[in-house]
Chains A and B, each alone.
Chain A
Amino acid sequence: MTPSLTMGHQESQNLDNINPLETRDEDFVERGENDALNDNNDQDEHSERSQSQQAIDESDSSEDEVAPRNTIGDVPLEWYKDEKHIGYDFAGRKITKKERRDKLDSFLASADDSKSWHKIYDEYNDEEVELTKEEIKHIRRLLKGKAPHAEFDPYAPYVDWFKWDDAKHPLSNAPEPKRRFIPSKWESKKVVEYVRAIRKGLIKFDQPKEEPRFYSLWGDDSSSADITKHLAYIPPPKPKLPGHEESYNPSLEYIPTQEEINSYQLMYEEDRPKFIPKRFTSFRSIPAYENAVKDSFERCLDLYLCPRVRKKRINIDPESLKPKLPNKKDLRPYPFACYLEYKGHQSAVLSISVEPSGQWIASGSKDGTVRIWEVESGRCLRVWEIGEAVQHVAWNPLPARPILAVSAGADVLILNTGFGNEEEQKEIKNLLHIGTPTSDDSDDMSSYLSWLQDEQHDCIRLRHYRTVSSVVWHRKGDYLSTLMPADILLAVLIHQLSKRLTQRLPFKLHGLPVSLAFHPTRSIFFVATKKNVRVYDMLKQKLIKKLETQLREVSSIAVHPAGDNVIVGSKEGKLRWFDMDLSSKPYQNLDCHRKDITNVAFHRSYPLFASCSDDDTAYVFHGMVYADLNENPRIVPLEILRGHTSSDGRGVLDCTFHPRQPWLFTAGADSTIKLYCH
């Protein structure tokens, strides 16, 4: 059906009329007049109704009669989209399309035309149609979902056309069905259901009273606390409060430069700062924080997923961590300041030794010389040219026998220093004189070691077959022990000077020996291998004790003058104090040096001990051993002595205490010897 909008009057049917708009306008005016007339005569409503009724009647009748201008019938209009005509009229002539107006024109026209709102473009007939008042009314009613005609009554009283008073025959002769007079089963079921629901309380008629959602939960006095029985509540840690840098307008110095920001990219992700300060010069320019929701979410996760542990906030003064030590002033005297330097050696001083009276000091150096200095003045008294690097020097502990044992290469020289009175000198000369080589006794020792007379220095030369690293005197001054670390079987030899005898150590050493020491009072001998220290009784010829150092490589050992305590220094810079009465495990660990400990030493009379190391330092400790066995030794670090400079990666190579004064001698790789005094 074409969208033939019902037109008001018969006039509009006029086919000859090509321009229907004009006529309609006329018609509108006409009708307006008509209305006005009617107004005068009759009641407004009535007139309208009557008129519209009339119109309806007419339109009803005219609906079929009004033929569209176009005769193409009900075909898709697309077919004519590209044609110049829209169809054919009754005469079969083409109806040409009107000119299309462009949008602007049509808009302007519509803006000018006050009636444009009730004009409709009829595509079928290619013309604009103006809706009449009636039509608009119909449309409105349709839009509301009502019947288009106002007078149509959808609820008209029912008229039973099939019943009348004097009807002889019923329309249907069927008997009344049972359901008409029996109560409905389903209805009753439904009722029962409802009744049950009401009884159960599923259906309630009165709305439940709304209780106030919030009330005074804690009561008025907040002190009434129930003691909860469950575990202690650990309150969550509060988020960190923002600092200056988080401000929207921080001081300029809080903003990192572009280079710094770029450098953040090179950092590990966990080290990278999470927040980069930015500056906004005005309040209005602050944007939304992009991680606001995420931060909040992460906080939530922390709150319910992270194990909470009550941790003590460490707010300690680092001083309080240090153990309570006696005041250093009370432990005086001890060496702390460099007092003298002994200069003269050309190369690193490898070893020093103090004469038992404390007047002279001997030193052996890498340049192949042994020098004797006067302690008080620093004057070099004597020089021996040995020819080889001097590994070790040792004074004879007897004051009456001023001789010096020197190890250089594979030889051990026992030098006459020339001190002492004439009697002593005579005795010494006797002692150091070997008439004929006494290799007649066919000992197996002879192939490894020979006692020789050295003419150059007028002394005894003990020729070993391997390099000797150290020489140690027995306290009585007759025996001396040498150490050849390269050998295992004959590593430790003990020589008797008076009888010119050499003995092997009659024990099996487990591991390479590193250092030796005689017990200061008893005939006990200490041998330090790389891992352990073995203590032998020389009289009973047996192992007394094995001290477990727990070190990687022992470098030096020293025995306390009382004999029950031993300190051991190691190549990893650790110092161990053993109390042999207490246990074979270290009593005190002192991790003081950063490099190898080269030597350790006890003072003979003062409660002092020292360690020197390749890191150019020497440590002085207070180490008091009490006669009371119940009391443990008291160890207090006293001083770090610096002054030496390193050369070839070596620092301080040897240290010895003065036998009577609390002074410390150190020999350095920088070819100097230093004396530290109190």
Chain B
Amino acid sequence: MAIDLHVFLVSIESDALNVVRHLTLTQLDMPITNFHLIEARRLLWEHPHIKGKKKEGNAARYVTRSQAIKILQVSLSDFRKLCIHKGVFPREPKKKVKGNHHTYYHLKDVMYILHDPLLEKHREIRAYKKKIKKAKAKKNDELAKLLISRAPSYKLDMVIRDRYPTFIDALRDLDDPLTMVHLFAMLPAIDRLKIEVKRIHNCRRLCHEWQAYISRTHKLRKVFVAVKGIYYQAEVDGQKITWLAPHARQQVLTDDIDFNVMLTFLEFYETLLGFVIFQLYHSINVKYPPILDPRLEALAADLYALSRYFDANYRTSVQELQFDGSSRLDQEQEESNIRLAQLQHQLPANEPGALMHLVQDASGEIEEDEATRDCKNLFRNKKFFLSREVPRESLLFVIPAFGGIVSWEGDGAPFSENDDSITHQIVDRPTQGHVYLSREYVQPQWVFDCVNARVILPTEPYMVGRDPPPHLSPFVDDEAEGYVPDYAKTIKQLQASVKSDVKPLPGMGNDDLDSSKILLAEGFINRTEAMEAAEKKRQMMLLEKQYHDELKRELQGVSSINKQNSENTESKEQSLPDVEPNPEDPSGLMMSRRKRGLAKAIEIGKQRKKDHVEKLKERKRNIEAAQKSEKKHKKTQLS
């Protein structure tokens, strides 16, 4: 019988009886010793004749959950909590010694929990709860109250530091925390489920703080309105962070959910997010936690209040920098002043924030990458106004993130509806009564589509009362998927045309795209026609190009033609024998069975993908046929 005490490096090689004796004598009052003592006793009792216990291999490396609990000497609920906080998860041993139906933890993971002060804290809390219970049972209310007021609590700071040694690591794992916090920000506080108002408020605050940072630093990249909620993707320090914010509706709560687990996760996530946001704010010289304008806070315009706070802080930090004083900064200041002067007449006079925008833009531009600059300038010089019925929260986050200025109907708004400089009003109702001619009325989807395409799309298809064009996911690589929806093609064309506008190329490259654009402007229904037209033009262009090439070649001389001829013959010779043998390749026979299975699986996967695409195409054909017949029907009716 040999037992390896991993922790204390006490290795004893003797029979179980000796182990028992030894451990009892040494009286190491530690849980691990206890565990081994118990185990040794049990083994000795069950199999008095056995001689050895595994020192290595899966049996020694992995323990079942109940064994782990025995080692840690905590209750199951505490063990769960510890696992969640410490990020310990079961692992899959190669050989499941105790059977297939157990969950296995790596012994090192268990030791990792064992060495954490959090474990001791949990035990303490458990003991303390007993004290309170006892006091209450003895009707000693005074003592109970005193005890409750002094109840021990634990901090997760070092756990976070331990789990995420660098800040980047923390950013990498931020998807789940953000999704969870955004969800809880939408949940009602329920006493029965122990969801406290305080936590809901905290979640909402964290959401706003995060969004304010992302929006202010223009780090948002993609937005997708799905049935499940709104997906956002931001890029912070090179890490793509995607999170899901549910729609601002009453959430459905079902009974089959254990909120204890979720709340434990939330506890960790809140702390993690707090620290991450602190670090992020710290990196742009803004104090955390922010102090908000109580008036705006009361009006539930937290995000706007935060942006105001940012403005104020930015200004101070910029000024401080200027006081530090270097010629370079002065120069920048000059530049920004010039730009400020240039743009001042374009900007609304009643928008103090806009001026500050300019100042800070000038100072911050050096460190920005191209994507950020793109995002920042998308809605530049555009002023948005949200109508009453539009879901405010997401748009207030998205529009400033892409450089726009936004206001809404309600108290605390920066400007009102009758402001003349508003360029776009976002409306989500079947008809719009009073219309300002100076601005365009669009549905909210226009903003999200613009953001994903990084291009200002024509507003006609998104007008009030119309069914907007399909909203496409920016997370899909259409080429890899094998099927490109029509609207994706049109958007791509628009992007290309915008690019070519910026960098005008000689030749006839532009007008076809322009024509398609014009056609698109005529209406969304004519899209396919536009595509066809564009296709024709492109073919024409190709032919022309070929002709040009040939001309060029002729100019270069006859020798090249000869060469080409010889090349041609060569290629013919090469191609001839290639055609003859069967295209079927029987080399698959020589693969091992495992590899053949793999190849088969790959083949099946490809086939499935192909089937899916086929299905989509067929559906589309059906829809188009139905539309055509309907049109015809209408025409006949008219005639």
Contact = CB atoms under 8 A, between A and B. Distances in A.
Interface of A: 202, 213-218, 222-228, 230-231, 233-236, 238-239, 241-244, 246-254, 256-257, 275, 277-278, 280-284, 286-297, 299-301, 303-309, 314, 316, 318, 321-323, 325, 328-329, 336-337, 590-592, 619, 635-640, 642
Nearest to B590: A323
A257 B616 CA distance: 11
Given A218-B161, A314-B598, A230 B108 contact: yes
Contact of B226 (A239, A246, A287): A246
A223 B173 contact: no
Contacts of B278: 214-217
Contacts of B473: 241-244, 246-247
B250 A222 contact: no
Contacts of B580: 336-337
Contacts of B279: 216-218
6 contacts: A282-B428, A291-B228, A300-B261, A590-B590, A635-B590, A636-B587
Contact of A290 (B252, B256, B470): B252
Interface string B157-191: 10011111111101011011001100100010000
B74 to A, nearest CB: 15
A296 B590 contact: no
Contacts of A291: 228, 252
Contact of A307 (B91, B162, B172): B91
Most buried by A among B87, B277, B617: B87
A293 B589 contact: no
B428 A293 contact: no
Contact of A244 (B175, B229, B476): B476
A600 to B, nearest CB: 14
B103 A284 contact: no
A71 to B, nearest CB: 54
Contacts of A247: 224-227, 470-473
A309 B91 contact: yes
A233 B108 CA distance: 12
A214 B176 contact: no
A380 B537 CA distance: 64
A283 B464 CA distance: 12
Given A218-B167, A248-B226, A307 B247 contact: no
A307 B161 CA distance: 24
Contacts of A214: 274-275, 277-278, 288-289
Contact of A322 (B92, B180, B587): B587
Given A231-B108, A321-B595, A288 B584 contact: no
A367 B132 CA distance: 102
Contact of B228 (A246, A300, A321, A639): A246
Interface string B246-274: 11011111101110011001000000001
Given A251-B486, A301-B261, A242 B161 contact: no
Nearest to A201: B150
A241 B226 contact: no
Interface string B513-548: 000000000000000000000000000000000000
A305 B167 contact: no
Given A253-B620, A316-B602, A638-B586, A292 B581 contact: no
A316 B606 CA distance: 12
Given A304-B83, A307-B91, A639-B582, A250 B471 contact: yes
B391 A283 contact: yes
Given A294-B257, A307-B104, A637-B589, A238 B175 contact: yes
Nearest to A224: B166
Given A292-B252, A318-B603, A304 B84 contact: yes
Contacts, number: 272
Contacts of B257: 293-294, 297
A280 to B, nearest CB: 8
B38 interface: no
Contact of A222 (B112, B166, B261): B166
B414 interface: no
Interface in B562-583: 577, 580-582
Contact of B282 (A213, A216, A225, A250): A216
Contacts of A225: 165-166
Contacts of B128: none
A288 B253 CA distance: 11
B436 interface: no
Contacts of B598: 314, 316, 321
B470 A250 contact: yes
Q: Which secondary structure dominates chain A's binding surface?
A: loop
Contacts of B92: 307-309
A307 B89 CA distance: 6
B445 interface: yes
A282 B443 contact: yes
Given A214-B275, A251-B487, A290-B252, 4 more contacts: A215-B275, A248-B227, A249-B445, A253-B620
Contacts of B83: 304
- Which of A223, A236, A242, A275 has the most CB atoms of chain B within a 10 A radius of its CB? A242
Contacts of A328: 581
A478 B481 CA distance: 69
Nearest to A234: B89
B251 A293 contact: yes
A244 B582 contact: no
A231 B89 contact: no
Residue among B253, B602, B603 with most chain A CB within 10 A: B602
B586 A637 contact: yes
B467 A281 contact: yes
A299 B176 contact: yes
Contacts of B470: 244, 247, 249-252
Contacts of B87: 233
A640 B226 contact: no
Contacts of B104: 307
Contacts of A248: 225-227, 471
Contact of B251 (A283, A292, A309, A323): A292
A303 B590 contact: no
Contacts of B445: 249, 283
Contact of B475 (A242, A292, A305, A639): A242
A257 B226 contact: no
Given A236-B176, A283-B445, A292-B246, A297 B261 contact: yes
B384 to A, nearest CB: 15
B582 A288 contact: no
B80 interface: yes
Given A278-B227, A308-B91, A233 B183 contact: no
Nearest to B283: A220
A295 B228 contact: yes
Interface string B383-411: 00000011100000000000000000000
Nearest to B464: A282
The 8 closest A-B CB pairs, nearest first, are A288-B249, A241-B475, A637-B586, A222-B167, A253-B620, A251-B470, A214-B278, A253-B619
A243 B282 CA distance: 36
User: Among A214, A239, A303, which residue has the most Cβ atoms of chain B within 10 A?
Assistant: A214
Nearest to A590: B589
Given A239-B175, A293-B253, A325-B590, A288 B231 contact: no
A241 B246 contact: no
A476 B163 CA distance: 82
Contact of A293 (B91, B157, B176, B183): B183
Interface string B439-463: 0000111000000000000000000
A225 B170 CA distance: 12
A296 B180 contact: yes
B571 to A, nearest CB: 17
A328 B471 CA distance: 51
Contact of A230 (B109, B588, B589): B109
Given A225-B166, A293-B183, A336 B262 contact: no
B616 A254 contact: yes
Contact of B428 (A234, A283, A322): A283
A619 B471 contact: no
